[in-house]
Every structure is written in C-alpha cells, then in structure tokens.
Amino acid sequence: MNKIHTVIATLLISLSFFAQAPEKISYQAVLRDASNTLLTSTTVGMQISILQGSTTGSSVYTETHSAATNNNGLISVEIGTGTVTSGTFANIDWATGTYFVKTETDPAGGTTYTITGTSQLLSAPYALHAKTAKTAESVTGSLSGTATGQLQSWDNTNSEWVIVANTPNEGATLQMISGVPTWTGGTPPPAIGDFQDGGIVFYVADEPTDLDGDGNLDTGLVCAVMDQNGGATTQWEQTPYTVTGATSFDIGGGATNTDAIIATINGSYPYAAGIARAYNGGGYTDWFLPSEGELQLMANHKATIDTAASNNGGSNLVSAYYWSSSEWASSNAKVYHLGNNSSGATQRSSSTYFVRAVRAF
C-alpha cells in the first residue's frame, strides 16, 4: 500500500461562534505516489477520519472530499466541511482524550483509496474546546470568584487567550450583564483612591504579587494620608556617605531598598527611610520609603490621592520633590517631583526633601 510521503506540520484552527459558519480544521498535506513522484495538479478523492485514543482507535467522525493538488503536490482541505459519512464534527469532545487524523486518498479521484496516512492532532484543535467553554460561560451567565480569580476567554480574531474579568476577592460572582463580564456580590476589587489598609490605594497589581519582599502575595500599594516628619523636609542621610545597595528603581523595590538603607545607616538622626519606617498609620509598622517607580505612580494619580487624603483627614501631596529610596551612586539618591512628574538625582546630605511613606496590602 502506498503512503503519504510528507505531511506539512501545520494544522490550523478556524473557529466561529455563529451558526452559519461551521467549525473547521484546515489540513494540508503533500501527496506522492509509490515511485515518490509528486501528485501535481491532480483531482483526488479523500476520506478523512478523526480517530480517538490512538492511530488505530475508533473513528468518531468521517467525511469525504474531492480536492485538487497544486503544482507542488500540496492539497488543502477543511475538516468539518466535507460530505459526512459518520458522526457529527460539532459533537466531538476535544477535552476527553488524544485525537488523530487519518487520511485515505484515491489519486484517480474516486473512492478506491490507496494512499493512507495518520497524524496526531496536537494543541491547536483544543481551541475548539475553549470555544465550547466560552459558550457555556455565556449561556450559564455566572462563575464563582476566587481569591486570585481570573476569567479567560478565547479571542478568535487574534487567536489568543485574553482576560475578560478578574477579582482578588472571595465570594464574588461573575455575571454577563448586557454582554459584559461583571463581578457582583462579595467585596469589590480595590480601586485607585480607595482608603484601606491604613492608606490611599495608588497601585493595584494585575495579579497578586510580592510587593514588599516578605514572601507573601500582595494586591497593591497604599500611601500615607499625609507627609511624614510633620510635613517638613529632611535629609536622605548625613555624611560620611555610605553605599547602601538600595538600587531598585522599580515597583515593588521600595521595601527592600528601605531595609537595606536602615541596615546600613542605622542612624539616630532623622533620615528619610527611617522616618518612613517609623510611621504607624492604621496601626501598621511595615511602611517604607517608595522607590522612584513607586513615586512616579503616586505622581500619576496625585489628584485622586489628594481628594482621598482630604476626605480622610490628611493633606495633599506637595507639588515638589520627594525622596525615593533609590540610591544613585555613593553620594546621591533619586528624587521625584510629584507636581510636574519628573525625576532627578541629588546629594543625600546637603539637600532636604519631603517624605511620604507607602506600604503593600
């Protein structure tokens, strides 16, 4: 018996969520005869079966095609659109096991199949299962939320998974409201400007992550409702200068920077990181001096923070430079202007700037 000599390693998924456009799998193969000669520009008869479990498994679906190869011997058919001889393509449960495509070809264009080949369906067809799950979500209308819950949906246009809704809270239910996934019940997810965990929310992570280096997952960052040090400016440190290793400029770097500064300087005099750590707003003792990146976030949301601070007995962020915990060389540190959203680097002892502590929640 002759065999297909080469099968192009591409099985493409084309999905539709509309009844008039059938589900299908695009299948391509290069056909050769017994003498290894390409079957070019030839109309062939083809029978395609979906086998479950193994190359010799039972057929759950079979259809036939009459199709022509091109001048390179390539044939292209869409499984799911042929003449059905058994089974229902739309009823295949792609999640229940491994599936294989068996092709049988008659080079003369009839049904006397003399060329056979079998190849395994890999990950792509399981997008069909994703489509089924998405449909079920739309039909049932709700999903239970979890502490780190996310609902993902298959985007057929871009062929990728996308997050359509998420919540960090227990007890919420996801419902389709006017076609929009919406969390209801439970505790609403935190939002910029909310007052909670001792401060004002100015950053909410896309997913829970460790933002203060304590090994626990956090939801976001809050800043104090007022400047520390009684609203007066202070130094970053006094001379002689000490290299602290507080070199993170990123979101999530302020806490470890502050730990490094305090461990190295350990001074009894007022200094920015020590003042931030000494703050105990809301009864918390894990406040820290923000990194440059965290100060930038505060600048981005200054108006919202100021409104929330006013509503909670605090004071506005000053349109001036604030100390970050990000060290810059042996004698300088980064500062950030919360009014014009700009950064700089300045001497740590001869300059004095404001301090606003933050913490992770």
Q: Which domains does the chain have, with CATH numbers?
A: 2-124 (2.60.40), 141-184 (no CATH), 195-360 (no CATH)
pTM, full prediction: 0.53
Token code pair at residue 250 = 């990123």
C-alpha closest to that of 2 among 49, 35, 47: 35
Q: Which of 27-36, 110-119, 275-284, 352-361 has the lowest mean pLDDT?
A: 27-36
- How far, in Å, CA of 164 to CA of 358, rounded? 30
- The more confident residue out of 80 and 330 is 80
CA proximity to 327, closest of 234, 261, 259: 261
Give the pLDDT score at 171.
Answer: 54
Q: What is the pLDDT of residues 277-327, one digit of tens each?
A: 999 999 999 999 999 999 999 999 999 999 999 999 999 999 999 999 999
- Strand 2-3 versus strand 115-121 pairing type: parallel
Count Cβ neighbours within 10 Å for each residue of 183-213 and write b for 16 or more, e otherwise: beeeeebbebbbbebbbbbbbebeeeeebbb
| Residue owning tokens 């605090």 | 314
Burial class (CB in 10 A: 0-12, 13-18, 19+), 254: buried
Q: How many CB atoms lie within 10 A of CB 16?
A: 12
Statement: residue 89 has pLDDT above 80:
yes
198-251 confidence digits (pLDDT tens) = 999 999 987 788 999 888 889 899 999 999 999 999 999 987 778 899 999 999
The pLDDT of 144-172, averaged and rounded, is: 49
